[in-house]
Amino acid sequence: MEAVQENKVVQFTEGWKQPENLRSIRKEAKQALNAMDFPTTRVEDWKYTRTTRITNKTFTQQDAQVEVDEFKIDNLKCHELVFVNGFFDEQSSTLLEDAGLSIKGIETLDEEAYAELLEDTEENVFSLINKAYSTGGLYIHQEKNKKANYPVHIIHVTTGNSVIANVRHFVEVEQGAELYVITSYNSKNAIDCFNNVVFEGLVGENASLTIDKLQTEEQTVFNISKENFIQDPSSRFLMNTITTGGLLVRNGVNILVEGANCYSEINGVYLGRGKQHLDNHTFIDHLYEHCTSSETYKGVMDDSSTGVFNGKVIVRQDAQKIEAYQSNGNILLSDKSSVNSKPELEIYADDVRCSHGSTTGQLDEDALFYLQARGINKKSAQKLLVAAFIGEVLDKIKNEDTRAHVDKLFLDQFGWEF
Amino acid sequence: MLSIKNLHAKVEDHDILKGLNLEVKAGEVHAIMGPNGAGKSTLASVLAGKDGYEVTEGSVDFDGKNLLELETEDRAKEGLFLAFQYPVEIPGVSNVNFLRTAINEIREYRKEEPISAKDFMARVREKSALVELDAKLASRAVNEGFSGGEKKRNEIFQMAMLEPKLAILDETDSGLDIDALRIVANGVNKLKNKNNAVIIITHYQRLLDYIIPDYVHVLADGKIVKTGPKELALELEEKGYDWIHETA
């Protein structure tokens, strides 16, 4: 008898149910998975992030109920859509009156159109797992030439033991429309849980999409996110990612700039403590001329946490008159913390203005001494300097209520004031 | 107020201070002059508690407390203030925010109530006017983009805000034009009273035209080699420091 070598990816998903929708998409994804393996650190894209910590474990799909009030943003009047362990919780969700905005289940998408639209976006084994097994998600659609009355807050909560939450959203902002989305990833009494997230979107011609992403899960939760966005001509896209939670986090933001005169901005702040591993991969692909992209990621790592930043910008041959700026700065607060930073720039056009840079160091000793010499305790002085360091990125959060929410988060978790 | 006895200090393996003695009483102004490399700035750094300076011998008593045993911030809380020779630029930290933090930590140390926002802002207005520092500068990031003169005025502004018992001005006159020098000196003179004291560390005599010292000390090769009245400064200006070596 011949021994059959069981595929690790298939093993990983064993016993999971595939909901009865988006059938052809799921089928295709599942077929692709049959021939795949999990990435090792020999694969360049995963060199600094070891996923065996996740893939050696067993996770199950579990629907659950949980109180979500604490995860709402104070004073922010918005549509609140709640997902618990990857399942939509209609009872906890609130939709407001907003004529141009439609929020439905992702299964209501036209499968063919959806597949075609995202043909050019990159998939990896985790996003394919999500595609095959996602248990819920939203299709958010903002009508042409209209600005949504209210922001959309997608609240994700993970709870329980060894839970996998495969959630998948798609947002479409039509020509000339404007939308603001907050995605928060939270957990409550979660042990060894895995948020496997896919969030995709299309920003139409002259449209604008802003996303603030807040990751504050407990340090027992894994989070791998794939965020793919396509920009049509003259569109604006801004995404800020704030990461304080999770044991192992891998964010992958990909922007395909498919038109001229676009503005793309992605920023991030990641703060590691304990044994956290926080990885931000970004990719901006400039295909057309006269576009600007800007990227600022800042990390502060304490204890024995590790950070990864890998930002890649490609300026294609036809993408003349591009301005692309990328910077990554890190502060290490302890001897045991570390950061791997890799800014990448590939330019095939000849008339562009691009810059990239990366710094990693400790807090400025002279500044620390200066503050202490004025009577400020070392700990407070450190806080002031760290707050100043990341404040520049936090200022990119334009919504006052969201900003207040983030400030409160930092005050509660770190004692930092801005 | 301050009593330094037989102070020896080294940086890495270099002995810089070699048995320095100094007594400063409340109400006094002392000037410490000396050639480059004599140990003037080392003295300021040792008193403020900067890392990298090792005291190998001697004692420093500050109003009954062993200064050398205190952390930098606690020295400040006890009422010691160092005006930096090279004020540090701290992007992102606003001048007034950090001063409010400092004032409140100092107050907490003295078991006093935090300062109210109203009182604090009133104090900012009053004290910034004292050194003719634009109120806008007062609320900007610490020293960021400040000119040399503005940085030094900001030091005196901070001194005015914190009301120290003993202020050490480390080459505050360096890099100042004559107008800025007068403003800075004027600020120091207005803050001066019978309960506090000032040590002016300087290379040149010109600041002492505006802030009149009670004593002038000459620091050379890690020791005070000569002490005299304010006229000593003029004599040094005229004859240079070599004259001290010859007579010492």
Supply the range of the domain harboring residue B104.
Answer: 2-247
Provide the pLDDT for residue B134: 83
**pLDDT averaged over every residue in chain A:** 94
Q: B76 vs A373: CB contact, 8 Å cut-off?
A: yes
Q: B84 vs A370: CB contact, 8 Å cut-off?
A: yes
In degrees and rounded to multiples of 5, residue A295 shows phi and psi of -145, 125
Q: pLDDT for B27-48, tens place per residue? A: 999 999 988 888 999 999 999 9
Provide the pLDDT for residue A412: 86
On whether the pTM is more than 0.90, the answer is no
Q: B72 vs A369: CB contact, 8 Å cut-off?
A: yes
Q: A374 vs B76: CB contact, 8 Å cut-off?
A: yes
Element (H, E) at B112: none
Please name the amino acid found at residue B38: A
Average pLDDT value for residue range A111-118:
85
Q: What is the DSSP string of A80-129?
A: EEEEETTEE-TTT-B----TTEEEEEGGGS-HHHHHHHTTTS---HHHHH
Q: pLDDT for A375-404, tens place per residue? A: 999 989 998 999 899 999 999 999 999 999
Count: domains in chain B:
1
**CB neighbour class for B177 (10 Å; exposed up to 12, middle 13-18, buried from 19):** exposed
Q: pLDDT for A63-91, tens place per residue? A: 999 999 999 999 999 999 999 999 999 99
Do residues A71 and A184 touch, judged by C-beta distance below 8 A? yes
Provide the pLDDT for residue B246: 57
Q: Report ipTM (2 d.p.).
A: 0.94
Q: A376 vs B102: CB contact, 8 Å cut-off?
A: yes
Query: What residues in chain B have their Cβ under 8 A from chain A's Cβ atoms?
Result: 48-51, 71-73, 75-77, 81-82, 84, 87-88, 90-93, 97-99, 101-103, 105-106, 109, 141-142, 158, 162
Query: Taking Cα atoms as reference points, which of B201, B172, B174, B245 lies closest to residue B32?
Result: B201
The closest CB to that of B101, out of A376, A378, A392, belongs to A376
Give the least confident one: A194-203, B134-143, B206-215. B134-143
Q: Is the pLDDT assigned to residue A297 strictly greater than 90?
A: yes
Q: Is the pLDDT assigned to residue B247 strictly greater than 70?
A: no
Q: What is the DSSP string of B127-162?
A: HHHHTT--HHHHHSEETTT--HHHHHHHHHHHHHHH
Provide the pLDDT for residue B233: 86
Provide the pLDDT for residue A418: 62
The closest CB to that of B76, out of A375, A380, A388, belongs to A375
Element (H, E) at A8: helix A8-12
Q: Which of A265-269, B148-152, B234-238 is predicted most confidently?
A: A265-269
Helix or strand or coil: residue A356? strand
A4 — pLDDT class (breaks 50, 70, 90): low
The CATH number covering residue B202 comes to: 3.40.50.300
Query: Taking Cα atoms as reference points, which of A228, A168, A158 lies closest to residue A193?
Result: A158
Q: Is the pLDDT assigned to residue A114 strictly greater than 90?
A: no
Under 8 Å CB-to-CB from A97, ≥6 apart: which residues?
A149
Q: What is the distance, to the nearest Å, from the Cα of residue A257 to the centroid of all Cα atoms in its chain?
A: 18
Q: Is the pLDDT assigned to residue A360 strictly greater than 90?
A: yes
Provide the pLDDT for residue B205: 85
Average pLDDT value for residue range A260-279:
97
Q: pLDDT for B179-196, tens place per residue? A: 889 999 998 999 999 999
Q: Is the pLDDT assigned to residue A406 strictly greater than 90?
A: yes
Query: What residues in chain A have their Cβ under 8 A from chain B's Cβ atoms?
Result: 364-367, 369-378, 380-381, 384-385, 387-389, 391-392
CA distances from A116 to A30, A112, B60 (A): 18, 6, 78
User: Minimal Cα distance from B73: which residue of A?
Assistant: A375
Q: B101 vs A391: CB contact, 8 Å cut-off?
A: no
The closest CB to that of A388, out of B50, B88, B91, belongs to B91
Average pLDDT value for residue range A134-146:
96
Chain A and chain B share a number of CB contacts under 8 A equal to: 78
CA distance B70 to A28: 69
The closest CB to that of B158, out of A367, A374, A389, belongs to A374
Do residues A282 and A256 touch, judged by C-beta distance below 8 A? no
